[in-house]
Structures are given as structure tokens and as C-alpha cells.
């Protein structure tokens, strides 16, 4: 339904005053997203997982037309979204909705909850009369489990969890075909998080909405998503079914991410498999971006960039050494 191919976005850096005096022409650029490809099926939840600076939010902004890419294409239902006619564009905006991380900023403080929920209906001329729209808003409120009394309140009167429910309700009011949720629970308490994630699952089950869930937490993605796409420094390193990716990671970065994720078990121990820290995206390592930190890196990783390839059916990895490093474990020899 959505197909992202070779997406690339570099943000140019400002030249500093000194550099200008010295007559330096180029200041370089931040490689936010580099050659990213993945696709979303109808009705599935896809997890976009990565640390800060991995390019997951920029990818979301590119898909929702908040940014233009330097190159690459995004096809939504067979049409390139960067070349949509004005009519198609309006249609696209209706069917692709975005929910942000911070529920305190994403609702207009001067709108009551009812006004906030009615606005997208008005914008897209859904529901002809006020009563019709009121009925639709009531339906949405029921779906997300916020009491009707909240309709006449302003966002400041609601808790973070309730606001995030409203933000999701607003996005779902138009029954979009694709919802992109950027860290929708990372600012909420853990007792509330599970309810919001389950709401996402319920809303998906009720319609044919596909969801892209952007999160830094592979544990959350694991329990909520059908497939997971792992990003590192603006590139996709591994892409597979959630079950497969977690039980059988084939990229050293995914493996390290899983080993570093704390479990709820007092006897389990996190381990650190990568050395150092994520570098600067303005000057990413050549060839494989993980090679300076990777325990398995060898000469080839320093000179040749690995491409995303299908190692097992439906399991894509960008690593020269996946088979060598991980297959012995697979077969148990």
C-alpha cells in the first residue's frame, strides 16, 4: 500500500562565520536519511525502531510531506506522493494521519476537545450538518474510551494519557488508511502506555488502517508490531517479521539492541556488544556505518557499503557477514 524506495534526505549545515571568512564553500550536511526502502501492507502495524538520530522521525516527515526528499520515491496506493495533483493531495492528507510524541503540544489549547475533534471533519467536509458531525465525534470518543464530559473541556484539564487518546481519536476520526504514530507513548506512565498501545491495536482491528509505529524501544515494537524495520544512522539495517527479527536477529546492530534491552527478570543481565557511541550524522563512517563499533567488522565493511538483501524469506539485512556470524547459531553447529 505504501512503498518507500531509496529515500534520501540530507540537511545542509550552515557555514560558520569563520568558515565564510576562510572562504570555505561547503559546510557539509547531516545525513538524516540515506537510501531508505521499506513497504507497508494494508492493515499491518510496522515498527520503525532506532536510537535517537537514526532518522526515523525524518522518515515519517518525508512520508507525510512535511519534508521533501533529495531523492527517492514514496508510492501511496500506486501514486508517487511527491507528484500528486492538488485534488489527490487533499485526498492523501485525509488518508494519511500523523500522531506526535508530545500530547501536551499537539492539541490546540484554545480549542475545546469537541472543537479539536470536529476540525478535521470540517476541513475534509465529512458530515454535512453539525448534528452529523457531533454524532461522529461521539462515536470516536466511545472508541478511545474518554468520557463524554471531556468534550466541553480544554486540553489543559486532561491528563497526558487522556490527551494522547484524544490525539489518536482525532487522527482516527477520518478513518485514515495510514496512521503514523511517532513515539506515541514515550511521555506517558507505564500503566497508561499499555492502554494506548492496545487502543492502537483495537482501532486497527476495527478498520483497514495500517500503522507505522515509530519507537526507540524494541520491546514495545515487539509486542505491538507485525513487522519491524531497524534503522541506524539514517539507514535501514534489518527488516523482518517481528517474531523473526527478535528471535533470530541477523544484523549485529539489532543483536546489540536486543542484548542491551533490560528485561523484567532480576536474573537477566544486559550486555554491551558495541564499542563507543553513535557518531555524528554530519560525518558518518564510510561503507558500513556500524563498522567502527562492530565486533564482527573486517576489511570489506570498511570499503564496501552493504546493501539490504533478502537472506531468508521476508528477512532483509544489510550486512556483509550475517551468514558467517549468525548462521552457525541458527543451525546449532
Spatial CB neighbours of 296, under 8 Å, sequence gap ≥ 6: 252, 321, 324, 325
Q: Would you count residue 23 as binding another protein (CB under 8 A)?
A: no
Q: Would you count residue 272 as binding another protein (CB under 8 A)?
A: yes
Closer CB to another protein, 128 or 269, in the complex: 269
Q: Would you count residue 113 as binding another protein (CB under 8 A)?
A: no
Window 167-206: contact mask with another protein (x via CB under 8 A): ----------------------xxxxxxxxxx--------
**What string of DSSP letters covers 101-169?**
S-TTTSS-TTS-HHHHHHHHHHHTT-SSSHHHHHHHHHHHHHHHT--GGGGGS-GGGS-HHHHHHHHHH
Q: Would you count residue 241 as binding another protein (CB under 8 A)?
A: no
Among 119, 261, 284, 325, binds another protein (CB under 8 A): 261
Among 157, 263, 300, 309, binds another protein (CB under 8 A): 263
Give every strand in the sheet of 309-312, ordered side by side: 96-99, 178-182, 210-215, 45-49, 227-232, 235-241, 315-317, 309-312
Among 271, 331, 332, 333, binds another protein (CB under 8 A): 271
Window 203-222: contact mask with another protein (x via CB under 8 A): -------------xxxxx-x
Nearest-angstrom CA–CA distance, 141 and 159: 15
Q: Would you count residue 131 as binding another protein (CB under 8 A)?
A: no
Spatial CB neighbours of 159, under 8 Å, sequence gap ≥ 6: none
Strands 210-215 and 178-182: parallel
Which residues on neighbouring strands pair with residue 75, listed in sequence order? 3, 80
Q: Would you count residue 112 as binding another protein (CB under 8 A)?
A: no
Task: Tally the residues of the chain.
Answer: 333
Least Å from the CB of residue 5 to another protein = 28
Nearest-angstrom CA–CA distance, 283 and 11: 12
Among 83, 262, 313, 332, binds another protein (CB under 8 A): 262
Least Å from the CB of residue 262 to another protein = 4
Q: CA angle at residue 252 from 247 to 258, to 5 degrees?
A: 45
Q: Which of 213, 216, 188, 179 is nearest to 53 (CA)?
A: 216
Give every strand in the sheet of 71-76, ordered side by side: 29-40, 2-12, 71-76, 79-80
Give the number of other Cβ atoms within 10 Å of residue 102's Cβ.
15
Closer CB to another protein, 1 or 219, in the complex: 219
Among 266, 313, 331, 333, binds another protein (CB under 8 A): 266
Closer CB to another protein, 3 or 51, in the complex: 51
Q: Would you count residue 148 as binding another protein (CB under 8 A)?
A: no
Nearest-angstrom CA–CA distance, 333 and 330: 8
Q: Would you count residue 44 as binding another protein (CB under 8 A)?
A: no
Closer CB to another protein, 87 or 277, in the complex: 277
Least Å from the CB of residue 45 to another protein = 12
Among 48, 150, 233, 256, binds another protein (CB under 8 A): 256
Nearest-angstrom CA–CA distance, 181 and 99: 5
Asked whether 230 and 251 are in contact (CB, 8 A), the reply is: yes
Q: Would you count residue 258 as binding another protein (CB under 8 A)?
A: yes
Window 48-87: contact mask with another protein (x via CB under 8 A): ---xx-----------------------------------
Residues that bind another protein (CB under 8 A): 51-52, 159, 161-162, 189-198, 216-220, 222-224, 242-243, 246-247, 256-272, 274, 277-278
Amino acid at each position: 500500500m505504501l512503498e518507500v524506495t531509496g529515500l534520501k534526505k540530507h540537511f545542509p549545515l550552515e557555514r560558520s562565520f569563520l568558515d565564510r571568512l576562510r572562504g570555505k564553500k561547503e559546510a557539509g550536511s547531516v545525513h538524516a536519511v540515506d537510501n531508505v526502502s521499506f513497504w507497508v501492507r494494508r492493515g499491518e502495524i510496522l515498527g520503525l525502531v532506532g536510537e535517537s538520530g537514526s532518522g526515523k522521525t525524518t522518515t515519517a516527515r518525508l512520508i507525510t510531506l512535511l519534508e521533501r526528499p533529495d531523492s527517492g520515491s514514496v508510492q501511496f496506493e500506486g501514486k508517487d506522493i511527491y507528484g500528486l495533483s492538488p485534488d489527490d493531495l487533499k485526498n492523501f492528507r485525509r488518508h494519511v494521519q500523523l500522531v506526535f510524541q508530545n500530547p501536551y503540544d499537539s492539541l490546540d489549547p484554545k480549542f475545546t476537545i469537541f472543537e479539536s475533534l470536529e476540525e478535521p471533519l470540517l476541513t475534509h467536509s465529512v458530515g454535512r450538518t453539525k448534528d452529523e458531525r457531533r454524532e461522529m465525534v461521539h462515536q470516536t470518543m466511545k472508541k478511545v474510551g474518554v468520557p463524554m464530559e471531556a468534550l466541553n473541556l480544554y486540553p489543559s484539564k486532561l491528563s497526558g494519557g487522556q490527551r494522547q487518546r484524544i490525539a489518536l481519536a482525532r487522527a482516527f476520526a477520518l478513518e485514515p488508511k495510514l496512521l503514523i504514530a511517532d513515539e506515541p507513548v514515550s511521555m506517558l506512565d507505564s500503566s497508561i502506555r499499555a492502554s494506548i498501545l492496545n487502543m492502537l491495536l483495537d482501532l486497527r482491528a476495527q478498520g483497514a488502517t495500517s500503522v507505522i509505529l515509530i519507537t526507540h524501544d524494541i520491546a514495545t515494537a515487539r509486542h505491538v508490531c507485525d513487522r519491524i524495520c531497524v534503522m541506524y544512522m539514517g539507514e535501514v539495517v534489518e527488516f523482518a517479521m517481528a517474531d523473526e527479527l527478535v528471535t533470530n536477529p541477523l544484523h549485529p546492530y539489532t543483536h546489540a539492541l536486543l542484548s542491551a534491552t533490560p528485561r523484567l527478570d532480576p536474573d537477566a543481565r544486559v550486555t554491551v556488544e558495541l564499542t563507543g557511541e553513535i557518531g555524528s550524522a554530519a560525518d558518518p563512517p564510510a561503507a558500513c556505518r556500524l563498522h567502527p563499533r562492530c565486533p564482527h567488522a573486517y576489511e570489506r565493511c570498511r570499503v564496501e557499503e552493504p546493501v539490504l538483501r533478502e537472506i531468508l524469506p521476508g528477512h532483509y539485512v544489510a550486512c556483509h557477514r550475517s551468514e558467517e556470524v549468525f548462521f552457525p547459531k541458527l543451525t546449532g553447529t
